[in-house]
Structure 1
Amino acid sequence: MGVRRYSPYYGANVERKPVRFVYPRLENLIFVGLLAFGITACSSDENEEAPAAAPEVVSEVEEVNAEPADPETFPDIVAIVNGVEIPKTELLERIAGADAQKGGSPGPKTVAYYREILDQLVGAELLYQACRDRDMLVTSADVDRELDKLKSRFPQPDRFEQSLEAQGMTLEKLRTEMRRNLSIQKFIETDIASQVSVSTEDVRRFYDETQDQMRHPEQLRLSHILKSVDPEATTEERATALTAIEDVLLEASSGADFAALAREHSEDLGSAQNGGELTVTRGQTAPPFEQAAFALEPGGLSPVVETQFGYHIIKLLERIEGQLIPYEDVQAQIEQGLKQEAIQSRMQQAIASLKESGEVELFIE
C-alpha cells in the first residue's frame, strides 16, 4: 500500500498579519442577481480584483429546535410591495443563491429563515422603487459597462453563454437584474453613503475600547518531523511507522541536529527541505499537534504525537508573544468598518421609512 503524503497544518508559514475585524456588512447589491443565479467565473488573472460582493444572506435567526418549513405550502405570491408582486420562485432562487454562497448543501429551513430572506427582497424592491421615483435609474450604457466587466472574467466568451444557459438565465433577464442592482447601488452611494462620515475621534475611541481585537495572535516558530500513515494502513504498517519515528526521536534527544533529521526523515513535503520549520498560530494545525506544540518551552522536544496525518516530533524554536497592533496600521481599516456600519444602519432606517409610507403585504406566516 502506497503511503500518501499529508501535512499537519493548513498552509505554509503564516505571515504576521493584523487581525480581521468583523463589522456588519454594507449591503452591496450590484451582484445579487448574478450570484442568485450562479453566474460566476474564474478570472484569468489571480491578482485581479474580484467583483463587488453580494449582500450577506446567511441567516442569524436562532433556529434551534425550530420546525422546518415546507415551501410547497407557501402561496405563489409571497409578498406585495406597493402593488408589485414578489413570487415564491424569486424567494426560492434567492435562497438557492444563499446556499451556493455558503458552499454547503441546503438543509431544512424554518419559517423565520424564509421570512428573513423575504424581508431582504422586500427591502431591495422598496429601494428600487425609490430609485425609480427619484429618477435615479442607471442607463443602458451603465449596464453594458458592467456586463462587459462580467464577461471579461470568463476565459472564453462561450463560457459566459454556457453559464447563462446552465442556470436557465437569459441575457435579457440578466440585464434586468443588473439594472435593478446598479440603480440600488447608485441610490445607496448618492443618498446614504455620501451623508456618512467618521471622525478621527470615533476611530481612536474604537481602537482604545477594543484593544483585545487589536493584537497579533501568539505564534510559534517550530520544526517538526512527520512519518505519514495512510488512513487505511494496517496495524502492522502503523507499528512500523511508529517504530521509525521513535528511532528519530531517540536521535534528536541525543543531540542530533533536528533540522538535518527533518530533511532526512520527514515526509511532510511542505516543510522537510526547510528543516521542518513552520510558523503557526492556534487553530491552524491538527488539535493534538497544537496541544503538544503550545505546551513546549523554547528548545523543548515533544514526545511522539499522533494526528490523522501520522506521527510527529516537534521542536519549539521560538515563542512569539501576541503584540498590540499600532494604531496607524489599522486606522484606515477601522474607519472603513465604522463607515460601513453607519451606512448599514442608515439604509435599514431608509427601508423602514419606505415601508411605513408604502403598502407592504407579506404572505408567509
Structure 2
Amino acid sequence: MQAKYGRRPWALVTALILIWVASPALAGEKQPPEDKVAVVNGSVITRADFDMEMSHVQRRLFSMGTPLSNSQLSEIKKEVLENLIDRELLYQESQKKGIKVDKAAINEQLMILKKRFASEAEFKNALSRMNLSEAAIKSQFKRRMAIQQLIDNQFAQKVTVSDKETKAYYDSHPDSFKQPEQVRARHILIKVDPQADESQKAKARKKLEKIQLKLQKGEDFAALAKEFSQGSTSAQGGDVGYFSRGQVVRPFEEAAFALRPGEVSDIVETRFGYHLIKVIDKRPQTTIAYEDIKDRLEEYLKQEKVQKEVSLYVEKLKEKAKVERFLTENPE
C-alpha cells in the first residue's frame, strides 16, 4: 500500500501531517530579496526554508538508495517549492477560517519532540546546529497543527470508504498484501570505527572471538549479548526483532537468512563492526488475510481520498492567490 515513486513523493497530506524539526518555514518575516524563493499573498518563503526542506528530502532519498540525475534533482526542487507554497496557502486559509491551536497541545508536541533526545542540553545543541530556536519550533508546530485542523474539518471528517471499496482494492492489488520471508535474530556486536586501522580491527575481532568461545561452551547467547554487545539492542539480549530482506545491511542479512532457527553464525563483518548472529525464528512468505488488513486498508484509502480532495482544494486556492516564484539553480 505504499505510494510508488513518481507519484508526487512529498504527497501533500503526508507532508503536512509529519512533524520534523528541520523546516522553520516562518513565512511572513521580512527577508532580503535575494533570500526568497517565493512570495505567497505577501508572505515570504525563504531560501533557508527551501534549503532545509531539500536537505530533508535528499537525506530520505539517499537512505532509500535512490540515485538522482541532474534532471530529476531539478524536478524535485520544483516539487519541494510547490509543496512549501501549498503549505503556506493552507495555513493562510486556516487563519481565514479562524482556526486556533491550543497552547497546551503545542507544548505537548514539544515535549514529545524533546523526549527523542537524551537530555535538554542535547536538544538545545541540535537546535543550535540547525540555527533554530524553541520559539521557532513552537511556531512550526502551531502552523502544522492549524493546517491539520483545516484538513480534518474540511475533508477528513466527511470522507468515507465502504467495505466494497476496500475488498475491491484488496482483490485487485494482490502483490501489495504479500508478507515477505522474515527472520527474527539476536546479535552481539563489537563496534569498529570506520576509520580504524588493522590493529584496532584485530583487537575488536579478538574480543568477539573470546565471546564466541563462551557460546561454544554452552553459555546463553542472550545473557552474553546483555553483558558484552555494544549494539543498541544489548539490553534486550541482542534481539533485533523480525526483519525482511533489504531492511538490514547486506552481510548481516545474508548470514541471518542462511541460518536455521537456533543456529549461530560465524563472525560477520559489517560497516558497524563484528557480529555474532543467532536466528530465533523464521517466517515464510505469506499473504495477509483481508480481515487482518481491512481496517488499515480502509484508513489508507481514506487518506488517498483526502489527499485528492486537498490537492484540488489547493489548486483552487492558487487560482485566487498571488504567488510569485523566484527559485533559481545555485551555481555548482
Name the TM-score, length of structure 1 as normaliser: 0.56
Q: Could you tell me how far 1:342 is from its partner in structure 2?
A: 1.3
CA distance in 1, matches of 2:126, 2:228: 43
Q: Of the candidates 107, 117, 122, which is equivalent to residue 85 of structure 2?
A: 122
Q: 1:127 to 1:236 in 2, by over 3 A?
A: closer
Q: Counterpart in 2 of 1:188?
A: 151
- Does residue 307 of structure 1 match 2:293? no
Q: Could you tell me how far 1:295 is from its partner in structure 2?
A: 3.7
- Does residue 352 of structure 1 match 2:315? yes
Q: Could you tell me how far 1:328 is from its partner in structure 2?
A: 2.4
Q: Of the candidates 70, 84, 99, which is equivalent to residue 55 of structure 2?
A: 99
Please show how residues 325-364 of structure 1 align to structure 2 within 5 Å. 325-364=288-327
CA RMSD of aligned residues (A): 5.3
CA offsets, 1:238-261, max 9 Å, x none?
8x959x68x96xx97xxxxx8558
Q: Could you tell me how far 1:316 is from its partner in structure 2?
A: 6.7
Q: Of the candidates 44, 48, 59, which is equivalent to residue 87 of structure 1?
A: 44
Q: Of the candidates 90, 94, 97, which is equivalent to residue 136 of structure 1?
A: 97
Name the TM-score, length of structure 2 as normaliser: 0.60
Residue 364 of structure 1 aligns to a residue in which SS? coil
Please tell me the residue identity of whatever aligns with 2:24.
Answer: F
CA distance in 2, matches of 1:124, 1:237: 53
CA distance in 2, matches of 1:236, 1:149: 45
Q: Counterpart in 2 of 1:70?
A: none
CA offsets, 1:57-109, max 9 Å, x none?
xxxxxxxxxxxxxxxxx84543343xx23435x242253256368768x9x99
CA distance in 1, matches of 2:228, 2:172: 42
Q: 1:315 to 1:114 in 2, by over 3 A?
A: closer
Q: Could you tell me how far 1:347 is from its partner in structure 2?
A: 0.8
Q: Which has the higher helix share?
A: 2
Larger Rg: 1
User: Which segments of 5 or more consecutive residues in structure 2 lack a partner in the other structure?
Assistant: 4-10, 27-32, 63-69
Please tell me the residue identity of whatever aligns with 1:87.
Answer: V
CA distance in 2, matches of 1:33, 1:311: 33
Q: Could you tell me how far 1:301 is from its partner in structure 2?
A: 8.1
Q: Of the candidates 168, 173, 176, which is equivalent to residue 213 of structure 1?
A: 176
CA offsets, 1:117-137, max 9 Å, x none?
2212322233244345xx512
Residue 361 of structure 1 aligns to a residue in which SS? strand
- Does residue 26 of structure 1 match 2:13? yes
Residue 208 of structure 1 aligns to a residue in which SS? helix
CA distance in 1, matches of 2:186, 2:124: 48
Residue 154 of structure 2 aligns to a residue in which SS? helix
CA distance in 1, matches of 2:240, 2:154: 50
CA distance in 2, matches of 1:362, 1:341: 28
CA distance in 2, matches of 1:276, 1:151: 31
Q: 1:321 to 1:357 in 2, by over 3 A?
A: same
Percent identity, aligned pairs only, is 23
Q: Is the 8 A contact 2:185 2:280 kept in 1?
A: yes
User: Which segments of 5 or more consecutive residues in structure 1 lack a partner in the other structure?
Assistant: 1-20, 40-73, 253-257
CA distance in 1, matches of 2:21, 2:125: 11
Q: Counterpart in 2 of 1:16?
A: none
Residue 176 of structure 2 aligns to a residue in which SS? coil
